[in-house]
Structure 1
Amino acid sequence: MTIEFRADGAPLPLDLKHLIVAGWTGRDADAIAHHIEELAALGVPAPSATPLYYRVSSPLLTTAPLIEAVGGASSGEVEPLIVEANGKRYLGLASDHTDRALEAHSVAMSKQVCAKPCAAELWNWDDIADRVEEIELESWIEEDGAWVPYQSGTIASIRPLADLIEGSRIGALSADGPVAMLCGTFGAKGGVRPAARFRMEMRDPKTGRTIRHDYSTTTLPEVA
């Protein structure tokens, strides 16, 4: 399945071969503990190690403005997206949309059952590599008809992306073709919770460039 990306405005269609979701990637031990506690409140077991690299089906990554999820317990998380393709690296924006009910039983399975929305725009890695940790990420959810701040932080809050790239073995996997990895997130203001609409943004404070993406979630009936 081809994703119609754009790299700095130029078309970059990619037939993604591998998709990775990096989890538990907070750099600060207290922040990791907070996120573990936050998810523990939803019944999610603590990880066996940090970080972890979950392999999921590559067609889950999508630029579509609408996704579908079974039941009403799924929610998004804003994350930086690393893409390796044709010997080049790019930085993008994605949401690790996850089924929170299933997450209480298996984090790996919960990652697999939801689409991973992403923005179509990518930035060439070489253009921002010297200041990548200054890049700002923010998300909002729609509640009662209004957009409510949900997450905010910089990439400096996450483990160095170079470490995640090495730990995930993106380089080796890219021998098969394009690879993408979602790189982790920040705590949610007011706690993790579902919303029908999710908005996210990535900003480069040096240049003022932004990448934005909004998506909606249609809830499918949960039939037993």
Structure 2
Amino acid sequence: MQFDTPGGPVDIAITDLTVAGWTGRDRAAVDHHIAELAELGVAPPSQVPLYYRCGPELLTQSARIDVLGADSSGEAEPLLVMAEGKLWLGLGSDQTDRALEAHSVAHSKQVCPKPVARALWAFDEVADHLDQIELGSKILENGEWVSYQKGTLAAIRPLADLAQGGGLADGGAMLCGTLGAIGGVRPATRFRMRLADPVLNREITAEYEMRVLPVVA
């Protein structure tokens, strides 16, 4: 994949994709969310955080993705990419099939494309102020863009710890968890996401639409 960086475009061959789940820094809040999902039939994770392996071919920079059925939704997440020993920070969406999630979280993540923004920042340029970096998303709902997620990376476990725990190596990409959905998790036909650095005064943004394919039997 080709990414835009402050130093110019870089081509990175991504060979592995990990989706880190249950990455909230507040363990009590994570446990509460696990209990809520258990009431909906979602099995609790075997460990916290949990690292789901997915096919790297799911990563896409397309402005449109196809999803099977109307039950999937996006969630903005910091993206880590390791290439030739250098760690990069970007932005992606862990599009997930919520109906399938009740059967298997791992399966629900593997069946959906994972849109990622085209820009990357060098991790060492933001490492000293990661908790100040803002993460957010909006969805198109009833013809209007509404705030869907909003917060800072302070709500997520330190990204370097997640990279180490998930064994991120050269050629690897990792989606690092997300923030709660304002008004509850729900599908939408369009999704916008943003990662903003108030210290260096820059941002990464991306937007995509979902084409819903029929579920036939």
TM-score bin (small chain): over 0.9
CA distance in 2, matches of 1:75, 1:179: 24
1:173-202 per-residue CA deviation (whole Å, 9 max, x = no partner) reads: x2xxx1100000011011100000000000
CA distance 1:205–1:57, change in 2 (3 Å): same
Identity level (%): 57
Q: Which residue of 1 aligns with 2:77?
A: 79
After TM superposition, what 4+ stretches of structure 1 lie above 6 angstroms from structure 2?
A: none
Q: Which residue of 2 aligns with 1:183?
A: 176
CA distance 1:9–1:42, change in 2 (3 Å): farther
1:120 pairs, out of 118, 121, 140, with 118
Which consecutive residues of structure 2, in runs of 5 or more, have no partner in the other structure? Answer: none
CA distance in 2, matches of 1:132, 1:190: 26
Matches within 5 A, 1:212-223: 212-223=205-216
Q: Which residue of 2 aligns with 1:66?
A: 64
Tell me the TM-score normalised to structure 2 length: 0.96
CA distance in 1, matches of 2:155, 2:205: 20
CA distance in 2, matches of 1:138, 1:37: 25
Secondary structure (helix, strand or coil) at the match of 1:83 reads: strand
CA distance in 1, matches of 2:95, 2:194: 15
2:52 maps to amino acid: Y
Q: Which residue of 1 aligns with 2:199?
A: 206
CA distance in 2, matches of 1:7, 1:214: 18
2:206 maps to amino acid: H
**2:156 is the alignment partner of 1:162:** no
Q: Which residue of 2 aligns with 1:106?
A: 104
What is the Cα deviation at residue 34 of structure 1?
4.2
Matched-pair contact (CA < 8 Å) for 1:38–1:192: no
Which consecutive residues of structure 1, in runs of 5 or more, have no partner in the other structure? Answer: none
Q: Which residue of 2 aligns with 1:144?
A: 142
What is the Cα deviation at residue 162 of structure 1?
1.6
What is the Cα deviation at residue 63 of structure 1?
0.8
RMSD (CA atoms): 1.3
CA distance in 1, matches of 2:166, 2:112: 21
Between 37-46 and 5-14, the greater mean CA deviation after superposition: 37-46
1:52-104 per-residue CA deviation (whole Å, 9 max, x = no partner) reads: 00010001011111000000000001100000001111000000000011110
Secondary structure (helix, strand or coil) at the match of 2:12 reads: strand
Matched-pair contact (CA < 8 Å) for 1:95–1:116: yes
CA distance in 2, matches of 1:41, 1:188: 18
**2:196 is the alignment partner of 1:195:** no
CA distance in 1, matches of 2:157, 2:16: 21
Q: Which residue of 1 aligns with 2:90?
A: 92
Q: Which residue of 2 aligns with 1:56?
A: 54
CA distance in 1, matches of 2:132, 2:202: 13
Secondary structure (helix, strand or coil) at the match of 1:159 reads: coil
